[in-house]
Each structure stands twice: as C-alpha cells, then as structure tokens.
Amino acid sequence: MDFYGEANARIKPKISVYGDPLYRRTLLIKTFSLVLFSVPHIYLKTLQNMWVDNLTSEAVWQQSMKRMCEGWTEFVLAVSDGLHVPTA
C-alpha cells in the first residue's frame, strides 16, 4: 500500500503517488457553492484531501469527521440563536 522501498514511495499521506488528480466541479456543486457561500466546495475539498489514491487512515477519518461535525454544530447553534424569538 505504501510502496515502501520503491522510487515512488508515499512520503506524505496527502500526496498521491500517481500524480495530482484533476477534480472537475459539476454544475450542481458550482451552483450550490455560489448560493451557500462556498461551504460545499470547502467540504468537498476536505473529503478529497482525506481520500488519496483510494486510501484513508482511521485517524485522518476520525479527525476530519470530528472537525466537520463541530463546524456544523457551531453553524446550527449560530443559526438557531439568531432565529430565537423572545416571548413576552
């Protein structure tokens, strides 16, 4: 999996041994990114950085998912706090 001892060894987990892949954004992602302030693009980029050469490690997966969930929690709390209507 890591090509140990070969000329094309995997030095860093985010670097592909096959070269840089070209990820084209679909019209759907481009549209949602414009409407949702680039949030879909950011999450897609995060997922692509985790998943290199069809491999990912459990530690990278858990750390990235924790970071994404924390971000969504903060976003939901901020939105729900802004929508709170006092009763009186």
pLDDT tens by residue, 43-81: 888 888 888 877 887 888 899 889 888 988 887 888 777
Predicted pLDDT at 85: 56
| Half-sphere exposure (Cβ direction) of 47: Cα atoms closer than 13 Å | 7
Is the full-model pTM beyond 0.85?
no
Check pLDDT > 80 for residue 12: no
Check pLDDT > 80 for residue 9: no
What crossing angle do the helices spanning 27-35 and 39-50 adopt, rounded to 10°? 130
Predicted pLDDT at 66: 92
Nearest to 16 by CA among 54, 63, 43: 54
